[in-house]
Amino acid sequence: MVLDSFFNSIFGWSIRISPLFAVFFISASLTLVTTLIYKYTTNQKKLKELRDEQKALQEQMKTEKDHQKLMELQKIMFQKGFLENMKHNLLPMIITALPFIIIFQWMGKTFSPFGDILWKIGWFGTYFIFTIILSITVRKLLRVY
């Protein structure tokens, strides 16, 4: 398949070093690309404002005793937090979805023969752990909200 040849030409050298290194390298590469896409396709200023508003609402909710007021704050937090964030993050999600599906199919075919790569969790679990750690780090370094 053409895509297999393409991904093997990009990542094949890392697999020859070690499957663990290859999964780390691929997760680092994808995390960096995804973070850059999010940074440049979203309004970072608006997302920071939304995050700050959410923090303020959370603080207000901690001190609120009135059940009715608490329910109103939760509703506002849902609307501002989840729905607004989703609206801003939809474009980068669409941009990255198809390439990820294709890359994951290739990774499944390529890394399944190696079996467990790290802590008996296979390639996907290893990828997932690396991606969480790297995503937090890269987002902080690049100030992506």
pLDDT at residue number 61: 78
DSSP states of 92-145 as a string? Answer: HHHHHHHHHHHHHHHHHHHHGGG---STT-HHHHHHHHHHHHHHHHHHHHHT--
140 has pLDDT over 90: yes
Average pLDDT of 17-29?
90
| Tokens, residue 62 | 């901690």
Could you tell me the residue ranges of all domains in the chain?
2-11+21-142
Q: What angle do CA 78, 45, 63 make, to 5 degrees?
A: 40
pLDDT at residue number 1: 65
Average pLDDT of 41-70?
82
Entry pTM: 0.74
62-117 pLDDT tens trace: 887 777 787 887 888 777 777 777 888 888 889 999 889 998 888 888 887 777 77
pLDDT at residue number 77: 78
pLDDT at residue number 62: 81
Q: Which amino acid is located at 138 in the chain?
A: V
